[in-house]
Amino acid sequence: MRRVPVFATLLVLAAVATMIALGFWQIRRLHEKEALLAHYAAAQATSAEVPWPADAQAAQAALYRHARVLCGKVLDRTSIAGRSARGEAGVAQVADCALPGGGTARVVLGWSRQPAAGLGWQGGEVRGILAPGPRLVADPPLAGLEANAPPDPAEIPNNHLAYAVQWFLFALTALVIYALALRKRWNAAPGTPRT
């Protein structure tokens, strides 16, 4: 009689169950991400301004909406890699601002090929689009800079379906490998019971 090793079988089945659960979790994440991207697309089409978000939860809800801040004082400036509205590679000029009522806001002033461009900007009103970070991408650009590429929710990856398929394939592979291992074990010594 061919005996199945209990502990090894339970271990493999637990691993397979975990992989299947992770696959279904990725499918749930897929639907959540699709709903989020639809929300962002609708926000992008809305022209009404929202206030600068006070916390991370408010920032998440306001992404890709138009907003306005009053930069009372520039606290810091940085230059990061960025793209112009025409798709050219260059430098996005960023200012961290102190807001008059308290708090701070990160503002992307505009785009340039020169890392030191736009250094003369000392603050003022900024209108633009809220991007992840959060940061306000100025529209129109400030400090004599060119327009940055507008934030686009289509750039957010939604690869949860691929991850789900991977988990299901891992589970199937584990079952096939275990079945082959059992077959090899049984064929190694026909008629000899295994424990």
**What confidence score (pLDDT) does residue 69 get?**
93
Asked whether 68 and 49 are in contact (CB, 8 A), the reply is yes
**What confidence score (pLDDT) does residue 195 get?**
47
Q: What is the pTM of this model?
A: 0.74
**What confidence score (pLDDT) does residue 104 get?**
92
| Mean pLDDT split into 10-residue runs, the chain, 195 residues | 83 96 97 92 86 86 92 91 90 93 91 85 92 92 91 89 96 95 81 51
